[in-house]
Amino acid sequence: MVGSSHEALHRIFQKDPALLTRALQRVLHVPFPEPREIAALNVDLTEIEPVERRVDTLLRAETDEGTYLLVVESQGKADDRKRGSWPYYLSYLYEKYRCEPVLIVITQNSATAKWASKPIRFGFPGWDSLTVRPLVLGPDNVPVIADERQAERDVPLAVLSAMTHGRGPQAAAILESLAAALRTVDADSAAVFVQFVDSCLADPQAKQMWRDLMTAIQYFWRHPLAEQVREEGREEGLELGLERGRAEGKAEGKAESVLRILELRNIPVSQPIRDRVNASTDLDQIETWTQRALHATNAADLFTEE
């Protein structure tokens, strides 16, 4: 089970290796050749000496123009030690495989992206003996996918969008579009993508909204993350159901989900409306309100047809 954003940010490329080349071509506009085949390699770069070195994800891309090694590093913050380790990784991999290595850094932080994009140069002024130029994917260049149709066209890219833009005013639209698009892929892949997004959502409201959206999707409950969610629900006095229509949770917990979605979408909620939602014990009614909350333009839209 992936338990951190660091793991999720690079392992999504293990789940869908072709996403990485699409990101290079469409996001960074790097003319990387179209691969005929992409394979995952052993990430262990440890030498005979007892010094352990591992990259996060390592892929081999076979193209008409040659074979490339795609080195993916997930970076949470600036770390000047990478000035030594990244060039080492590339040199070692070239020596071992005799293939051209390409370094791709992925981050959720704009400041980290700016730091990582700076070339690493060794040598004296005016003459670089070695230059490393990382390609960086982050919130400033990964597209915001907040449209359901667009998300359906490339679900892995929509997952990457949610992972890098999981906070801010567009979070609700991004997560809602992705939730709908996940229904178009196979259940096993969807369950993995659900966890990747959950691991990367640092904003508590966005994380809760994502979990509220996922409770209605049965394949979510097949994943180990579901047990974590159920345990958290029990600690809060909630019992989350395993099947649609099975309502073990308390009605007040479901009602709070409706209000959280509206708040995350920056829609004001008056006290009378808040009281009405919290007072309901009809789980079917609350489920209807939850769906309306995803599209409402004001809080009163919850009760449009009542």
Longest dimension (CA), the chain: 75
- The pTM score is 0.67
Do 160 and 104 form a contact (C-beta atoms < 8 A)?
A: no
How many other CB atoms sit within 10 Å of the CB of residue 167? 17
Q: How far apart are CA 65 and CA 82, in angstroms?
A: 29
How many alpha carbons lie under 13 Å from residue 223 in its C-beta half-sphere?
24
Residue 53: predicted pLDDT:
66
Residue 273: predicted pLDDT:
85
Residues of the chain below pLDDT 70: 1-3, 45-53, 216-254, 305-306
DSSP 58: E
Cα 88 to the chain's mean position, in Å? 28
Q: What is the CA radius of gyration of the chain?
A: 22
Residue 2: predicted pLDDT:
52
Residue 160: predicted pLDDT:
94
- Which long-range contacts link 208-215 to residues 24+ away (Cβ below 8 Å)? 208/257, 208/260, 209/171, 209/172, 209/175, 209/260, 209/261, 209/264, 210/175, 210/179, 212/257, 212/260, 212/261, 212/290, 213/175, 213/176, 213/179, 213/294, 214/179, 215/240, 215/241
Residue 90: predicted pLDDT:
94
Q: Which residue has the tokens 């992972």?
A: 163
Q: How far apart are CA 23 and CA 271, in angstroms?
A: 45
Residue 252: predicted pLDDT:
61
Residue 304: predicted pLDDT:
77
